[in-house]
Structure 1
C-alpha cells in the first residue's frame, strides 16, 4: 500500500478528528468569552457584550454587503442618537458607524474593481444626486464653519452611498425591494407599539405625544413623517388580490397600526401630506398629463403670489391653537398669529431668506444654519420658543434651508432631484412591467408624502428619514433601469401621456 492509499484510507478519520477539534475550540473560546464577560459585567463593564455583533458585522462587510445593508435598515428604527441621550455627540448608534463602514467598503471595491453597473451612474437621478453632492462639497470649502460643513457632507455621503448607489445594485431583483421595506417596517411597528403604550399611560395627552417615541425618534413630526411614507405600500399590500392571504393580512394589520399611530402623532404636516398623496394617486389613475400637473402647480403658485396679502389677512384671523381634538388641531394648521409652532416656523423661514439674500451664490455653508441664523431673526418675528442657542432644529424646510446654507444652486439641485423622482416614478408606472407598476406607485406616493412634509420640516440630516428616503429613490431608479421598457419612454412621450 502506497503513501497515497494510506492518506485516502485515513481521510474520514482525520476529518472527524479535525471536526471534533474544531468543535472543542469553538466551545472552549465560547466558554472563556462567557466567563470573562460575566466577570466584567459584575464589575460594571458592559462593552465586551457587543463583541459578537462586531464580529458578525465584520464578516458581513467582507462577504455579504447586501445582508449588512438589510441589517442596518432593520436597526435604524431602533437606533439611538447619542446627542439626544446627553452624550454630546450627534451620532446614531449602532447604525451610523455601520453606514460609514459600508460606504468605505463599497467605494474601495469600486475603485479596485468597478462592481457597479455603469448605467446607474448615467441615470438622470444619479447625475443629479452627484451634482448636488459636488455643490455641497464646493460650498463646504467656502463655508463660514468648514468643520461643520464637511461633517455634514460626510454624513450625507454615508446615507447616499449605501442607500442609493449600493441599493440600486441590490434592487435589480425586485423582491429585494419588498425585503428592504419589511426590514424597516417590522422594527418600526415595535416602536409604534411602544409609543402608543406610553401615550396610553399618559392619558393620550397631546403635549406628552410629542415625546412618547423617545429615545428612538427625536420628535412626533419626524416619527409621523416616516410612518406616512409606508402607508401607501401597506394599503396596496392589504388590498392586492394577487398577493398571498398571509401577506394581505399582515399588510392590513400593519396598515391599521400605522394609521392609528399617525392619528395619535398629532403631526399636522403628516395630516396634510396624506390627502395630497391621495390626490396624486387619483391623478395617476386618471392618467393626467405630466405637463398638465406642472401647469396646475404653476397656476396655483401664481395665484398664491398674486393674492398673498389677502391670504395672509385671512390666515391671521385664525386663532385656533393646536389641541388634542383632531378638528381643532387640523384647523390650527393655518394659524400664523398665535400658534407658537407655526409662528416660529415663519421666523425660521424669514431668517433663512435673509441669510440667502446676503450670500445668494454659495450660502453660509451646509449644516451651519442652526449656528448662524440667530442674528438674522427680526424682533417682530420672535416667539416664546425662539432661541439664539442653535439647539432647536434647522430651517424647517428642505427647500428653504439649502438656500441659506448652499445658495440658489443648493436649493435648485435638491428640487431637481424631487422633480426627477416624480418623472421617473410616472415613467415606471406608465411604461414599466406589470409587476413593477403597483410597487412604483406605492414608492412614489410614499415619497410625495415627504415632499409635502419637506415644505414644513427637514429631517434628511437624520438616519431615521434618510434611510427610507434615499432607499425609495434607489427603488425608483432600479425599477426604471431594469423593469421599464426603454422604447418610446422619452420625456416628450411621457409628458403627452
Structure 2
C-alpha cells in the first residue's frame, strides 16, 4: 500500500514537471527544454538500474548511425553516448565502493593484459606523430573497454548472458529484416548491397561482419533455450542470419564462418596450441619470403586490369587472379604499412595515424584507381595497422591477448562440466575466431559493429573462468 502511494507521488511529480517544461518550452520557444524530463528520468534510471543501459546498448548496436560533424570529428549515434554514460557509471560505482576492483574478475590475467594494451596505447599516444588524433583514439578505446569489458565482468551470469544475446538478437533480426526487404526490392543484386544497408551500416562489410559474429551467439542462445516456440524462433533466426550473411556478399565473412567452425572443432579436440604454433611458423615464413630480395614486388597489379566488378561471380574470379580492386588496394596499403613499420618499429606513428602518414610510404607499382582514398579509410588489416600505429610491441601485446584467449578457452571448456557454461565458452570462442579472421582483411575493432564484441568476448571468458574456479573451491 505504501509502495503504491509512493509510486503515485513520484508519477504525479514527474507529470507536473513534464507540464511545466512543456509550457516553459512553448513560452521561451526553446525546444531543448522538452527533453529535460527525459534526461532526469534517464539519470534516475542510470542510478537505480544501470544494467538497463547495458542491455539497451547491445540492442542499439544494429541501429547505430555513423555521424561526421563539420569539424571532421565522427561518432556513432546513439551507441557512443551510451558507452560514455556506462563508463561514467562504472567510475561512480568504483568511487562508491573501491572494493569492486578487488573482485577476482578485475585481477584476472585477461584484465591485466587489457591493462597492458591500454597502457601501451597511452604511451604511443604520448610519442605520437599527431597527438590529437591519438588522444581521440585513446578516449574511444577507454570507453569501449569500460562499457563492454568492465561492465560485462561486473554484471556477468549465465542469465545475464542470455538476456544480452536476446536483446542483441531481437534488434539484429529486425535490422537484418529491414535490409533484406530493401535488398529483395533490388533483386538481391550484388552492386546494390552497399546502398540498401545504409544508414545503419557504413557498407556491406560492416553489415556482414556483425551478422557473421552474431551467428554463434544466437545459435548458442537457441541451444540453451528450452524446447518450444522460443527455441524454434531462435533456430529460425540463426538460419535467417546465415542467409543474410551469404547475401551480404562479404568474402571475409564467408572465410570467417568456415574458420570459426574449424576453430570450434580444434578447441573441442584440444589442438589449439598446435594450430597456433603451426600458424605462427607459416606466417613468419611467408612474411620473411615476401621481404627477402623484395619478392613482394612480383605481386604488383596491372593498373589497367585492376578494376571494380559489379557481378559477384566476376569479383571472385578477379580476386583469384589478383585483379580485384579492393584486394589489390589492400596490398597497396599493406606495402606502405611495412615501410612505415621499418621507419618507426618501436612506438609506431601513434594510434589512429595510419591515414595521416601512409601516402609518402607507398610504392607506385601497387597503385590502383581508388588509391586517392577520399573516404580516408585505413590499412584494412588490424594486425598490420596495430604494428604501424603502436609499433611492433603493441602488435605483440594484441596478438598475445588473442592467443591467450584461445588457449584459455580450450582449457576452460574442457574443465567445465555444466552444459550451459560449456556452451557459452564454445560459442564465445567461435565468435572471437570470426572476429580475428575478419581482422586479417579489415581494421574494425574501433567500429561499433565489431569492436564491442571483441571486448565482450574477452570479458565473458574471464568471468566464466573466475566463477567456475570459485565454485570448484
TM-score normalised over the length of structure 2: 0.88
Q: Is the 8 A contact 1:459 1:466 kept in 2?
A: yes
Deviation at 1:448, TM superposition (A): 0.3
Give 2:239's match in structure 1, choosing from 256, 270, 290: 256
Deviation at 1:263, TM superposition (A): 1.1
Give the 3 Å change call, closer, same or farther, for CA 20–463 of structure 1 in structure 2.
closer
Give the 3 Å change call, closer, same or farther, for CA 22–451 of structure 1 in structure 2.
closer
1:213 aligns with 2:197: yes
Q: Is the 8 A contact 2:21 2:34 kept in 1?
A: no
Deviation string for 1:359-383 (max 9, x for gaps)? 1111111011112212112211111
Kindly tell me the number of residue pairs found equivalent between the two proteins: 465
Q: Is the 8 A contact 1:374 1:388 kept in 2?
A: no
| Bigger Rg, which one | 1
Give the 3 Å change call, closer, same or farther, for CA 361–305 of structure 1 in structure 2.
closer
Deviation string for 1:24-83 (max 9, x for gaps)? 54444334445666889xx8x765554454333312332222222112222222122211
Q: Is the 8 A contact 1:117 1:169 kept in 2?
A: no
Q: Which moved more, 1:265-274 or 1:60-69?
A: 60-69
1:127 aligns with 2:112: yes
Deviation at 1:283, TM superposition (A): 2.0
* Cα distance in 2, alignment partners of residues 487 and 311 from structure 1: 53
TM-score normalised over the length of structure 1: 0.84
Deviation at 1:106, TM superposition (A): 1.3
Q: Which moved more, 1:28-37 or 1:406-415?
A: 28-37
Deviation at 1:116, TM superposition (A): 3.4
* Cα distance in 1, alignment partners of residues 421 and 184 from structure 2: 40
List runs of 5+ in structure 1 lacking aligned partners: 1-10, 489-497
Give the 3 Å change call, closer, same or farther, for CA 37–95 of structure 1 in structure 2.
farther
Q: Residue 226 of structure 1 aligns to a residue in which SS?
A: helix
Deviation at 1:406, TM superposition (A): 0.8
Deviation at 1:241, TM superposition (A): 7.9
Cα RMSD of the aligned pairs, angstroms, is: 3.2
Query: Could you tell me which residue of structure 1 aligns to residue 409 of structure 2?
Result: 425
Q: Is the 8 A contact 1:206 1:323 kept in 2?
A: no
Q: Is the 8 A contact 1:322 1:332 kept in 2?
A: no
Give 2:129's match in structure 1, choosing from 107, 125, 144: 144
Deviation string for 1:154-210 (max 9, x for gaps)? 000010012101211211x21101111222222122221121122222232212202
Q: Which moved more, 1:426-435 or 1:133-142?
A: 426-435
Query: Could you tell me which residue of structure 2 aligns to residue 156 of structure 1?
Result: 141
1:182 aligns with 2:170: no
Give the 3 Å change call, closer, same or farther, for CA 443–324 of structure 1 in structure 2.
farther
1:296 aligns with 2:278: yes
* Cα distance in 1, alignment partners of residues 57 and 319 from structure 2: 35
Q: Is the 8 A contact 2:341 2:348 kept in 1?
A: yes
Give the 3 Å change call, closer, same or farther, for CA 311–264 of structure 1 in structure 2.
farther
* Cα distance in 2, alignment partners of residues 214 and 87 from structure 1: 23
Matches within 5 A, 1:43-192: 47=32, 50-83=35-68, 88-114=72-98, 115-171=100-156, 173-192=157-176
List runs of 5+ in structure 2 lacking aligned partners: none
Q: Is the 8 A contact 1:132 1:410 kept in 2?
A: yes
Q: Which has the higher helix share?
A: 2
Q: Is the 8 A contact 2:300 2:366 kept in 1?
A: no
* Cα distance in 2, alignment partners of residues 288 and 354 from structure 1: 38
* Cα distance in 1, alignment partners of residues 288 and 361 from structure 2: 27
Q: Is the 8 A contact 1:168 1:474 kept in 2?
A: yes
Q: Residue 190 of structure 2 aligns to a residue in which SS?
A: coil
1:451 aligns with 2:436: yes
Query: Could you tell me which residue of structure 1 aligns to residue 369 of structure 2?
Result: 384
Give the 3 Å change call, closer, same or farther, for CA 275–49 of structure 1 in structure 2.
farther
Q: Is the 8 A contact 2:219 2:234 kept in 1?
A: yes
Deviation string for 1:301-327 (max 9, x for gaps)? 36645876999979979x898767665
Q: Is the 8 A contact 1:362 1:407 kept in 2?
A: yes
